[in-house]
Amino acid sequence: MRVSEVVLKGGEVVDEAGRRRADVVIDADGRIAAIGDDLSAARTVDCGGCVISPGLVDLHTHLREPGREEAETIETGSRAAALGGYTAVVAMPNTEPAIDSPGVVREVLELGAKATCEVFPAAAITVGRLGEQLVPMAELAALGVRIFTDDGSGVQDSRLMRRALEYASALGITLAQHCEDAGLSQGGHMHEGAWSSRLGIPGIPAEAEELMVARDIALGRLTGAPVHFLHLSTAGSVELVRQAKAKGLRVTAEAAPHHFTLTHAEVASYDPVFKVNPPLRGDHDVAAVKAGLADGTIDAIATDHAPHPQEAKEAAFDEAPCGMLGLETALSLAISELGLPIERVLALLSWQPARIAGLENHGGPVVEGRPANLTVIDPTTTWTVDPSRLASRSRNTPYAGRSMTGRVRHTFLRGEPVVLDGEAQR
């Protein structure tokens, strides 16, 4: 029996190595000190009936700070992340100003140092996300940036994207692409299909996404650089990635929960809470995304957490901004809707995204000596989404009133309990 600061008692450890019943001791330095049976410590945290997992990692979080703090801040967004089981998030660069310079990267890192999860800023690929001039990639990579993306806009210039991939290959960083051909998507506000015709809302065809997926697969083959595809939403995109992987190309992909749980039929209400980019697609696309998550074509579930103030989301559908909340519901939706074993769900939410982002201290095996970035999940509890109880500064969840299975009970960041019994501790 080993005595230390905290023991996670009575749970089942699930990590990349598999599943086993074990207690986990966290020492005073915030590291895993012991794993085994009948361990003790100065303090016991009940994990009976729960899964003890490496902390979740989100590849795609909009924290809005700097510049749009009325929607979210790093403080409020990281609290939502911790409640959702995340110990690390990659903060998207479409802030105001964009994260495209060393000064803004340092600002986000400084704010993130006080957060309830680790915040890793992604940087833009092009200055101001305007698609015209590359950012100083080497300088930003030296500050620790591992993911570069113009998220919210796809890089339209193929020659510029090739050059960016060549630089990325040399620097050992990853470019993440928002796949959208602007010429095809311009003026669209939802998926182009039966519902857009019925509702009279201009649509965005699936081909707007698929053309850029195909182009960047080709550019990845040309340059040898890794390419990560953000929030895939169409059956065609999933199949393109599947074929690229079969050929041994260095591609990875993520999908957002709303693209495997909601369809364009939701827009029949004209409620802008269902407006998102890429848009909610058809039943065939939802089935394809689920299949891609199940068979390994899609490597990660990423929230695309995109908070907006209530007044913005109450505008007319064609004037409202795109985006919806995701940090506190992603795990539960994956457990409830995918029908996958818990170890597969956690691979998609934890160690596989950590590997894509290059985060050594997150998502790794639950073994002695590693930082105690851990999540304790009750996989069978049910709960109902109440927007007023979410930690985000915004309330634009499309899941209000929806019953879900599985919820985070505890989250530990470097050994500190930032969530206990479902309540944020700071």
Phi, psi (rounded to 5 degrees) for 351 = -75, -30
pLDDT score at 4: 54
- How do the pLDDT tens digits run along the chain, 426 residues long? 344 589 999 999 999 999 999 999 999 999 999 999 999 999 999 999 999 999 999 999 999 999 999 999 999 999 999 999 999 999 999 999 999 999 999 999 999 999 999 999 999 999 999 999 999 999 999 999 999 999 999 999 999 999 999 999 999 999 999 999 999 999 999 999 999 999 999 999 999 999 999 999 999 999 999 999 999 999 999 999 999 999 999 999 999 999 999 999 999 999 999 999 999 999 999 999 999 999 999 999 999 999 999 999 999 999 999 999 999 999 999 999 999 999 999 999 999 999 999 999 999 999 999 999 999 999 999 999 999 999 999 999 999 999 999 999 999 999 999 999 999 998
**Token reading at 61:** 């979080």
Neighbours of 29 (CB within 10 A): 12
pLDDT score at 426: 80
Cα(323)–Cα(307) distance, rounded to whole angstroms? 7
Cα(19)–Cα(135) distance, rounded to whole angstroms? 43
Q: Which residues pair with 54 in a beta bridge?
A: 374
Neighbours of 239 (CB within 10 A): 16
**Which sequence positions are flagged as catalytic?**
304
Phi, psi (rounded to 5 degrees) for 46 = -70, 125
Domains and CATH numbers, the chain: 6-52+368-424 (2.30.40.10), 54-357 (3.20.20.140)
Q: Using an 8 Å Cβ cutoff, are 203 and 146 in contact?
A: no
Q: Using an 8 Å Cβ cutoff, are 16 and 3 in contact?
A: no
pLDDT score at 3: 45
